[in-house]
Amino acid sequence: MHFGGLYEDEIVGKAYDRQLMGRFIRYLSPYRRLVAVSLVVLPLVAVCKLAQPWLLKVAIDNHIVAGKMAGLPVIAASYLGLILAEALFTFIQVYLLQYLGQRVMVDLRMELFSHVQRLSTRFFDRTPTGSLVTRLTSDVEALGEMFAAGIITIVGDILVLAGIIGIMLWMNLRLSLVTFSVLPVLFWVAFAFRTRMRAAFRQVRARLANLNTFLAESLGGMAVVQLFNRQNHEREEFRRLNREYRDANLPVITWDAALYAGVEAISAVAVGLLIWYGGGEIARGTLTFGALVAFIQYIEKFFSPIRDLSAKYSVMQGAMAALERIFQLLDTEKAAQEGAGIPDPQPSPAGGWCGATKGDGTFIDFRHIWFAYQGDDYVLKDFNLQLRRGEKLALVGETGGGKTTVTRLLPRLYEVNRGCILIDGVDIRTMPLDLLRSRIGIVLQDPYLFTGTIAYNITLGDSAAAARMERAAAVVGANRFIQRLANGYDEEVRERGVNFSAGERQLISFARAVAFDPEILILDEATASVDSEAERLIESGLKGLLSGRTSLVVAHRLSTIKDADRIAVIHRGEKMEEGSHQELMTARGLYYRLYQLQFRD
C-alpha cells in the first residue's frame, strides 16, 4: 500500500472564513431559541465581570483608604454575589453551547452520511474510505470543539472588551490611551499568525485522513499482510504516515504557543505601562489608588479573553479547515436519481433511436453501448444485447473483457457514455433510481455480510423480505446449515462474516437475493468462490432462484452455464458470439476455444 498521488487527500486552496461561517450558521436555524437564550446570557456574564473591578475601586477609595469600615461588608457580599452569579451564568452558557453543538453535529453527520449514500460509484472508486471516515468523524468533532471553545462566547468576549474600553476611557482618558498603546502590536501579531495557522491546520486534517485510510486498508487486509510476511513493511509505512501526522501538528503547536506567549508578553507590557504612568498620576494626586487597582483588574480582564482567543483561534482554525473539507464533500455532485435531464432520444453511433421499442418481446435492451471508466479508454464498444422476459443469459469471456461492466450498467452503478439501456422500452435513466434497483437482485463473487445476525443479513431490516426469509433460505439450500447453528437465524455474524465459510457466506447472499424477490437477477461469478460441495448444494437452489426471473449470469466456470438459454461471448468490449452452448460448440469459435482450455484434461 502506497499513500501519495491517488491516495493523497486534497489540501484545498484559499478559503473564505466568512463564506464558510455563513454557510455553517444555517445549521443553527432549527435551534434559534437555544441560540437566543445563549445570547441573552452573554451580557449577564459581561455585567458580572465588569462590575467586580468597580466594586474594588469603591471599597478601596471610599472605605479602606478613608478608614471607613461601615458598609464594607455589604460591598464584600456584593462582590461575592457577582462571582457566584458569573459562575452560574457561565455554567448555563457552557451547557447550552455544548448541547447546541451536539445537536448540530448529529444533524451534520446525518446530512453527510445521507449525501455519501447518494454519490456515484465513480466517487468511491477514487476516494479512499479513510478520508470519508475522517470527514464524518474527526472533522465533525472539530466543529464540536468549536462549540466547546465557545463560538458564541466570542460575542461575549467582544462585549466584555468593549465594556472595559468604555469604562477605562470614562475613568481616565490619558491612562487608558497609555495602556492601549500596545494594541496595534497585538493586532499585528494576531493577523500575522492567522494565515500560518490556517495552512498548518489544513495539513493536519489531510495527514489524518491519510493515516485513517492506511489503517482501514491494513487492518482489513491483515490476513494477507501476515500470510505474506509484510508486517515489517506495513509497520514502516505506518511509521512514515504517523511521523507525517506528527510533523504536521508541530507547526500548529509552535504557532499556538507563540501566539499565547506573545499575548502574555504584550499583557505584561501593558500592566507595566499602567503601573509606571498610574504611579506618577497617584503621586501627583490626579489618580486614586483604588482607580489604579481597578485599572489593573480591568487590564487583566481585558487580556484574559484575548489569551483565551488565542486558544479559541486554534480551535477555530481547525474548525475552518474541517468545514472546508466537509463542504467540499457536500458539494460533490450526487449520482443522478431521476432521468429528468435526459435529452430527447438521439441516434447512437451505429444508428437507431434510444427511445424506440422493437416490439419483438425484448425485455432488457442494451443498445449501442459505449462506456469508459476513464477518458476514452472504452471498456464496452458499440455493445448490443437483448434479453427476453424470463430468459437466462450468460456472459463469458476473458478477464477484463467487460462482462462485469455490463452488470454494473444495468442497475446504474455507472452511467453509459453513449447509447442507452431499455427495460420494457423505457430508458432506465428516466426511472427513479430506487424503483429501478428494487426490480434487480445482485449476487456478487465476494458477498458482503454486515455485523449482526443471519436474519438481518438476509433481510437487511426490510419487513417484506423478512416475511420471505425462511422460504428464500430453503430455495437456495442455506437453511440446511443455518438450522444446524445453535441460534439458527439469530446466529451472530461477525465483521464481514469471518465466522462463516466462503460457501456459507455466498449461500446467505443467495438467500438475500431471493428474499427481496427481484424481477431481474444478476449473478456476477456468484459460484466462483464456492467449493464443489457447496456448488452442488447451490445448483439445486439456483433452479428455484432463477425460476420466473430474467437472469444475467457472468460465469468463469463454463460448466455452470451450459443450461443457459443463451450465451454471449464478450471479447475486448465487443460481443463476438451468441447462442446456446451446443450452437457455440458446433461453431468452434471463441467459446469453443475457452471451453477446451477449461476442460482439455
Instruction: Categorize the per-residue pLDDT at 149 as very low, low, confident or very high, splitting at 50, 70 and 90.
Output: low
The CB density around residue 226, as the number of other CB atoms within 10 Å, is 11
pLDDT at 351 over 50: no
The pLDDT of residue 225 is 76
Indicate if the pLDDT at residue 480 is higher than 80.
yes
pLDDT at 319 over 90: no
Whole-Å CA distances, 498 to 222, 501, 502, 540: 13, 7, 9, 26
- CATH number of this structure's domain 362-599: 3.40.50.300
- Mean of the pLDDT values across residues 448-477? 87
Length of the chain: 601
Q: What is the CA radius of gyration of the chain?
A: 35
What's the pLDDT tens digit per position in 156-203?
A: 777 888 888 888 888 878 887 887 788 788 777 767 776 667 677 778
Instruction: Please state which of the ranges 104-113, 223-232, 380-389, 537-546 shows the lowest mean pLDDT.
Output: 537-546
Give the 3-state secondary structure of residue 57: helix
In angstroms, the CA 544 to CA 532 distance is 19
pLDDT of residue 200: 77
- How much is the pLDDT for 447? 79
Mean pLDDT of the chain: 79
- Is the pLDDT at 342 greater than 50, yes or no? no
Whether the per-residue pLDDT at 350 is higher than 50: the answer is no
Query: Does residue 438 surpass a pLDDT of 50?
Result: yes
Tell me: pLDDT of 99 over 50.
yes
Query: What cell does 594 get?
Result: 475457452
Domain ranges of the chain: 15-330, 362-599
pLDDT at 593 over 60: yes
Superfamily (CATH) of domain 15-330: ABC transporter type 1, transmembrane domain (1.20.1560.10)
Flag whether pLDDT at 343 surpasses 50: no
- The confidence band for 433, taking pLDDT boundaries of 50, 70 and 90, is confident
> Given a cut of 70, is residue 540 above it in pLDDT?
no
Cα gap 414→431, rounded to integer Å: 14
Give residue 369's pLDDT. Answer: 92
d(Cα 87, Cα 45) in Å, to the nearest integer?
8
At 526 the pLDDT is 67
What pLDDT is recorded for position 370?
A: 92
Say what the pLDDT of residue 345 is.
41
Distance CA 187, CA 12 (A): 27
Q: What is the pLDDT of residue 384?
A: 92
Residues 369-410: tens digit of each pLDDT: 999 988 888 899 999 999 988 888 989 888 888 888 898 899
Long-range contacts of 382-388 (CB under 8 A, 24+ apart): 382/348, 382/349, 382/350, 382/419, 382/574, 383/419, 383/570, 383/573, 383/574, 383/575, 384/575, 385/568, 385/575, 386/358, 386/362, 387/362, 387/363, 387/550, 387/552, 388/361, 388/362, 388/363, 388/550
Q: Is the dihedral of CA 132, 136, 141, 143 positive or negative?
A: positive
> 462: how many CB neighbours lie within 10 A of its CB?
15
pLDDT of residue 352: 45
Q: Is pLDDT larger for residue 306 or for residue 204?
A: 204
Res 339: pLDDT: 44
For residues 586 and 356, give the distance between their C-alpha atoms in angstroms, rounded to a whole number. Answer: 35
Looking at per-residue pLDDT, the higher value among 288 and 486 belongs to 486
Specify the pLDDT at position 233: 83
Q: Sign (positive/negative) of CA torsion 35, 37, 40, 43?
A: negative
Per cent of the chain over pLDDT 90 is 5
Q: By C-alpha distance, which of 481, 445, 457 is closest to 560? A: 445
Other CB atoms within a 10 A radius of the CB of residue 485 amount to 14
Is the per-residue pLDDT at 338 higher than 50? no
Does residue 490 surpass a pLDDT of 70? Answer: yes
pLDDT interval class at 538 (50, 70, 90): low
Cα separation, 438 vs 81, whole angstroms? 67
Span of 144-158, 239-253, 503-517 with lowest mean pLDDT? 144-158
| 528 vs 439: CA distance, rounded Å | 25
What cell does 179 get?
495602556
- Mean pLDDT of the 253-275 span: 81
Average pLDDT of 253-272?
80
What is the rounded distance in angstroms from the CA atom of residue 235 to the CA atom of residue 241? 10
DSSP 95-135: HHHHHHHHHHHHHHHHHHHHHHHTB-HHHHHHS-HHHHHHH
pLDDT over 90 at 422, yes or no? yes
Among 385, 365, 394, which Cα is nearest to 553's? 394
| CB neighbour burial string for 47-57, b if at least 16 within 10 angstroms, e if fewer | bbbbbbbbbbb
What pLDDT was estimated at residue 84? 94
Compute the half-sphere exposure of residue 399: CA atoms within 13 Å on the CB side of its CA: 1
* Contacts of 329-335 spanning 24+ positions with Cβ under 8 A: 329/112, 329/115, 329/116, 329/132, 329/135, 330/111, 330/112, 330/115, 332/115, 332/119, 332/123, 333/120, 334/115, 334/118, 334/119, 334/120, 335/118, 335/119, 335/120, 335/121, 335/412, 335/433
At 9 the three-state DSSP class reads: coil
pLDDT digits (tens, 9 = 90+) for 126-142: 777 777 887 888 888 88
Work out the average pLDDT over 412-424. Answer: 90
Beta strands 550-554; 520-524: pairing state = parallel
What's the pLDDT score for residue 527?
Answer: 67
Q: What would the mean pLDDT of 500-508 be, rounded to a whole number? A: 82
CA distance 25 to 100: 12
Single pTM value for the model = 0.72
Give yes or no for residue 550 having a pLDDT over 60. yes
Position 545 scores a pLDDT of 65
Residue 76 in this model has a pLDDT that exceeds 50: yes
Q: Which of 488, 462, 168 lies closest to 303 in space, CA to CA?
A: 168
Give the pLDDT confidence of 512-523 residue by residue, as tens digits. 888 888 889 888
Q: What is the mean pLDDT of residues 477-503?
A: 85
Dump the DSSP string for 541-590: HHHHHHTTSEEEEE-SSGGGGTT-SEEEEEETTEEEEEE-HHHHHHHTSH
Instruction: State the average pLDDT over residues 72-89.
Output: 89
Cα 452 to Cα 462: distance, rounded to the nearest angstrom? 14
